[in-house]
Amino acid sequence: MKTDNTASYKKGEMITVDITDFGENGEGIGKTDAFTWFIKDTVIGDKVIAKVMKTKKSYGYARLDTIVKESPDRIEAKCPVARSCGGCTLQSLDYSAELKLKQNKVENHLKRIGGFDLSNVEIEDIIGMEDPIRYRNKSQFPFGRKNGKNITGYFAGRTHSIVEFDDCIIGIEENKNVLKAVLDFMEKYDIPAYDEESGKGVVRHVLIRKGFATGELMVCIVINANSLPHSDKLVESLCTMLGSDLKSVSININKKNTNVILGEKTVTLYGNDYIEDYIGDVKFRISPQSFYQVNPVQTKKLYSKALEYAALTGEETVWDMYCGIGTISLFLAKSAKFVYGVEIVDAAIQNARENAKLNNIENVKFFVGKAEEVITGEYENGNIRDIDVIVVDPPRKGLDKLAIDTMLKLLPKRIVYVSCDSSTLARDLKLLCEKEYELKKLTVVDQFSRSYHTESVVVMERK
């Protein structure tokens, strides 16, 4: 058993490692001399024996075999398939330690990547959850076949191999009943699950959504066919299982050989083609295709902090770049003079306009297109004058250079940046704060408990 780096490591060798850090995906990191190891399912403070799986010049990957000494922050994972599923990389870490880890991660990225001296920044305590389970309002379960039987669960990390189970502890409790109803239905009427290799079979995925404020439930069955035989019987079963909370049952047709879950056509079998939910006092209609934050409890806290940082008095013009279905825009509109939202996805803007109408919010306007092009065009055409606040909530890759250049040209008084990736946040802030802006406040929000991902919100003010 090797404990140093005196010779090359071979696949299958056993190594003893002290875990001293976490990687970007929540895996434990340790060293044997100058050689760095990434070992999944370990936590800082563990001493472990691991099996070498793959090596590079100065680092390698190993699989946990034995925990020689447990970290004081190690707890027993609540999910029985936590290791094989790999969806929740921090299941074995005490929650208070998880919150500290995420706070440090964001701050370290701002220091290391952004080059910020945080002594002049107001840093608030991370906003955690009271109970970090059962928070996901949306789950998508793949279906497949194993030993001649239909199965469901989640794909193991970086694979399309299904880890079979029926109850994800970060998902809603109703998931279990829905999956049972669908599997029983498939068995009774001899409806096979989809097989990726052959392209045959019918049921590909089941998507389940819940409105946490309303209790409304949606079930969408993704199929590799034009119709689902005996679908009326499945609807009956789901209604019996879920009662009056069930507001929508649909099939989504996806016959393409693709990793994309949803196809273009959705047919409603029962109820509405949407469910409704609230963030604060703003109501949203959510379809199977709608983007909607998966943790509504924390989303309210996140958006409330973004609203606080925007410091609106009722006289401001606000632009919400990457507005999606208008979640932040409508949240801000109640305190702003006028809010403009921009999103490149046409269907999302249609949802945003519907949601504004649903809430009788009239001081908003939504545009389809690239945010930087729309804002620049409206500004240069004289349709808008002063821009007081810009709010951005970009995808994980962050802002592109054109978006940053546009903000630096328009020079709003404040920029509120909501981020799901603190490394790209730090990169973008470095450019924005190079000359024109000053980073003033930061709050981290635990939006994805038991995983390494997190959300943060910052505000910059013009110098």
Residues annotated as catalytic (active site), given as ranges:
420
Distance (Å, whole) CA 206 – CA 144: 11
Tell me the three state secondary structure of residue 433.
Answer: coil
Six token digits for residue 82: 């936590």
DSSP 159: S
Nearest to 276 by CA among 353, 210, 192, 221: 210
Distance (Å, whole) CA 99 – CA 454: 10
Buried b (16+ CB within 10 A) or exposed e, 126-137: bbbbeebbbbbb
Q: What angle do CA 152, 158, 161 make, to 5 degrees?
A: 30
Do 394 and 323 contact (CB within 8 A), yes or no? no
Nearest to 218 by CA among 286, 280, 319, 150: 286
Six token digits for residue 292: 């909607």
DSSP result, 295-306? -HHHHHHHHHHH
Long-range Cβ contacts of 382-387 (<8 Å, 24+ apart): 384/317, 384/340, 385/317, 386/317, 387/317, 387/318, 387/319, 387/412
Is 274 annotated as ligand-binding?
Answer: no
Distance (Å, whole) CA 171 – CA 295: 10
DSSP 192: P
Distance (Å, whole) CA 228 – CA 187: 14
DSSP 2: B
Is 289 annotated as ligand-binding?
Answer: no
Residue with tokens 């922050």: 73
Is 393 annotated as ligand-binding?
Answer: yes
Distance (Å, whole) CA 85 – CA 83: 6
Nearest to 110 by CA among 417, 448, 403: 417
Is 322 annotated as ligand-binding?
Answer: yes
* Helix and strand counts by DSSP (H, E) for the chain: 10, 22
Distance (Å, whole) CA 455 – CA 463: 26
Do 22 and 29 contact (CB within 8 A), yes or no? yes
Residue with tokens 């009788």: 360
Residue with tokens 């239909």: 150
How many other CB atoms are there within 10 angstroms of residue 417's CB atom? 26
Task: Point out the annotated binding site for S-adenosyl-L-methionine.
Answer: 293, 322, 343, 393
Task: Point out the annotated binding site.
Answer: 293, 322, 343, 393
